[in-house]
């Protein structure tokens, strides 16, 4: 029963493009329309029709603790009582900055912004200023927010609608953006051989989350590190998804690779609008007002958002990441067994509390192999889950997320829903 959602959607499309404030929420690529959510708690979200769903989207990543965690809610309520924005420093900006620097050894200084997009576009400007170079390497299917320079064969929303690049971005801007297949070190080396002294940075998701979940091959991240060292480019790890999710020290801590800059978002705001970028002191000091690189934001370091982020990280400091990872591994093995019984070929990539079901017999290690997933069958899977109270990402190029609030019963209910779905 989705009548009130349908009615609200019908009205919303008159006032908001596609009825949504971010395209992937429109559910276009799974031939559905968006549920309007009334409230959420723990691992559940409840629609405006009063239907409860087990949530594997988690607001696209921020809700690793589950929705409306009491510690976060309490901190936000207290912060709001003190005012919502000062436009001047507050102590919590320093508290969260220190927590981020303590969690990520590669981050000696950090600047808060209000979204992952702001973090990556600012990090790119900083990398270009620091190196005096303009070109940047990103990966096919990689998504780093909607900053102009990154929208060249991007992943996530753009990949879902398979629109390579986008109108409105001047050719001149993306002409400085070089693209290689993920996990393909030879292609990256080739680009460095051709453009080495003009390349300011390599932007990589240390585990890719915008073409579905792609795991870095063992030599990939260390290989990027040594190529950047060899050619004097900066390695920027985009940890907007993986930061504080793969481990408390991010994917960089998990894989033992030290970037020059890191971009962050999602979890560090605990569901409030926070992005951040940070790294080596000598690079970060180039930012205004200590240096010439301009970057700014009215609500950067917002006190309410900082309080949410601090409360979230405090709980995560005491959380058992390995235990959650083994629950997800066990759940994915059970999913594989059910698909096998159905005679459906799948590749289920998983890392820590993330997984993606690719409906393909191929091993998925880059965007080209991710695109072999049967998207028509994915639509049926999405609708089948939704009809049975399970809320998964409405796209074959997103990651399913598990929170510390997900219970064994949630996994069991999801498995029995899958058993019941006719594919």
Is the CB of 145 or the CB of 223 nearer to ligand KE4? 145
Give the interface segment with ligand KE4, choosing from 29-37, 137-145, 253-261, 360-368 (CB under 6 A). Answer: 137-145
The DSSP output letter for 233 is P
Member of 47, 120, 312, 414 binding ligand KE4 (CB under 6 A): 120
Q: How far is CA 269 from CA 83, 237, 276, 309, 406, in A?
A: 18, 18, 10, 4, 20
The DSSP output letter for 262 is E
CA dihedral 108, 306, 62, 24 (to 10 degrees): -100
46 beta partners: 39, 52
Member of 27, 240, 246, 267 binding ligand KE4 (CB under 6 A): 240
Minimal distance, residue 216 CB to ligand KE4, in Å: 14
Q: Are 325 and 248 in contact (CB under 8 A)?
A: no
Contacts of 279-283 with C-beta under 8 Å, sequence gap 24+, read 279/106, 279/107, 279/108, 279/109, 280/106, 280/108, 281/108, 281/109, 283/126, 283/127, 283/130, 283/234
278 binds ligand KE4 (CB under 6 A): no
Q: What share of the chain is helix, strand, coil (3-state, %, to 5)?
A: 45, 15, 40
122 binds ligand KE4 (CB under 6 A): no
Q: Please provide the DSSP assignment of 169-231 as one string.
A: S-HHHHTTEEEE-TT-HHHHHHHHHHHGGGEEEEEE-SSB-SSS-BPPPTTHHHHHHHHHHHH
Binding mask 288-317 for ligand KE4 (x = CB under 6 A): ------------------------------
Give the interface segment with ligand KE4, choosing from 11-19, 32-40, 237-245, 374-382 (CB under 6 A). Answer: 237-245
29 binds ligand KE4 (CB under 6 A): no
88 backbone φψ class: left, alpha, beta (φ>0; ψ -120 to 50): beta
Integer Cα distance of 414 and 388 in angstroms: 8
Which residue among 53, 143, 231, 248 is the active-site one?
143
Total site size for ligand KE4, rule CB under 6 A: 21
Is the CB of 268 or the CB of 418 nearer to ligand KE4? 268
400 binds ligand KE4 (CB under 6 A): no
Q: Is 98 a catalytic residue?
A: no
Give the interface segment with ligand KE4, choosing from 27-35, 88-96, 113-121, 348-356 (CB under 6 A). Answer: 113-121
241 binds ligand KE4 (CB under 6 A): yes
Give the interface segment with ligand KE4, choosing from 37-45, 114-122, 163-171, 320-328 (CB under 6 A). Answer: 114-122
366 binds ligand KE4 (CB under 6 A): no
Minimal distance, residue 398 CB to ligand KE4, in Å: 5
Integer Cα distance of 396 and 399 in angstroms: 8
Which residue among 140, 184, 238, 374 is the active-site one?
238
Which residue among 44, 266, 327, 371 is the active-site one?
266
Strand-by-strand arrangement of the 354-358 sheet: 347-351, 354-358, 400-401
Give the interface segment with ligand KE4, choosing from 76-84, 143-151, 162-170, 281-289 (CB under 6 A). Answer: 143-151
Query: Footprint of ligand KE4 on this chain (CB under 6 A)?
Result: 22, 24, 60, 115-117, 120, 143-145, 156-157, 205, 209-210, 238, 240-241, 265, 275, 398
- Among all residues, which ones are annotated catalytic? 143, 238, 266
């Amino acid at each position: 029963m989705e009548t009130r959602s349908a009615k609200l959607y019908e009205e919303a499309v008159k006032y908001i493009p596609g009825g949504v404030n971010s395209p992937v929420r429109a559910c276009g690529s799974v031939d559905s329309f968006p549920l309007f959510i009334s409230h959420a708690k723990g691992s559940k979200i409840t629609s405006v029709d009063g239907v409860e769903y087990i949530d594997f989207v988690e607001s696209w990543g921020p809700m690793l603790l589950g929705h409306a965690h009491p510690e976060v809610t309490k901190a936000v309520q207290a912060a709001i009582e003190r005012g919502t924005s000062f436009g001047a420093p507050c102590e919590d900006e320093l508290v969260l900055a220190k927590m981020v620097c303590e969690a990520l050894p590669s981050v000696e200084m950090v600047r808060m912004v209000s979204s992952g997009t702001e973090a990556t576009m600012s990090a790119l400007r900083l990398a270009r200023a620091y190196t005096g170079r303009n070109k940047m390497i990103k990966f096919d299917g990689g998504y780093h927010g909607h900053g102009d320079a990154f929208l060249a064969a991007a992943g996530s929303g753009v990949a879902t609608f398979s629109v390579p690049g986008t109108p409105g971005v001047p050719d001149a801007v993306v002409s400085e953006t070089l693209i290689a297949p993920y996990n393909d070190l030879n292609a990256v080396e080739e680009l460095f051989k051709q453009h080495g002294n003009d390349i300011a940075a390599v932007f990589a998701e240390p585990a890719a989350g915008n073409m579905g979940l792609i795991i870095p091959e063992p030599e990939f991240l260390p290989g990027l590190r040594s190529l950047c060292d060899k050619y004097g480019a900066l390695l920027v790890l985009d940890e907007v998804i993986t930061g504080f999710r793969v481990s408390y020290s991010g994917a960089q801590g998990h894989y033992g690779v030290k970037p020059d800059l890191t971009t962050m978002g999602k979890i560090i705001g605990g569901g409030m609008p926070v992005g951040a970028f940070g790294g080596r002191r000598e690079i970060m000091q180039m930012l205004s007002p200590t240096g010439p690189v301009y970057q700014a934001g009215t609500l950067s370091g917002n006190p309410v958002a900082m309080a949410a982020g601090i409360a979230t990280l405090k709980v995560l400091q005491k959380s058992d990441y390995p235990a959650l990872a083994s629950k997800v591994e066990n759940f994915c093995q059970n999913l594989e067994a059910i698909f096998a019984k159905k005679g459906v070929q799948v590749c289920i990539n998983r890392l820590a509390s993330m997984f993606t079901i690719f409906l393909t017999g191929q091993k998925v290690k880059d965007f080209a192999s991710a695109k072999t997933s049967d998207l028509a069958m994915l639509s049926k899977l999405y609708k089948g889950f939704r009809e049975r109270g399970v809320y998964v990402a409405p796209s074959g190029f997103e990651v399913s997320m598990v929170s510390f609030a997900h219970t064994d019963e949630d996994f069991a209910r999801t498995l029995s829903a899958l058993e019941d779905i006719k594919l």
